[in-house]
Amino acid sequence: MSITIPDEVLESARLTAPEALQELAVALFQREKLTLGQASRFAGMDRLRFQHLLASRGIPLHYDVAELEADLQVLRETGRL
């Protein structure tokens, strides 16, 4: 599924397209809708950089064993592990 955000919405929010993706990724992570790995990929950032973004906003990590296993499975499926 693709979502189109009109340019005037981005302009009024004073966001670039990458910044809008980051904002959405942070919100979904904070609401526990995405894992840390999913949110960092969605934001187009490596995991460490995304963790720094969360830390700069005072958002704690909520990363449990199930999320670790899910991320490991994704890495196996994509041949990165």
pTM over 0.85: no
Pair 67, 35: CB distance under 8 Å: yes
**Amino acid making up residue 34:** L
Look at residue 68 in the predicted model and tell me its pLDDT.
Answer: 84
Look at residue 66 in the predicted model and tell me its pLDDT.
Answer: 85
pLDDT in tens, the chain (81 residues): 888 999 999 999 999 999 999 999 999 999 999 989 999 999 999 999 999 999 999 999 887 788 788 889 989 999 988
Burial of residue 6, with CB atoms counted within 10 A of its CB: 0-12 exposed, 13-18 middle, 19 or more buried: exposed
Nearest to 35 by CA among 60, 71, 65: 71
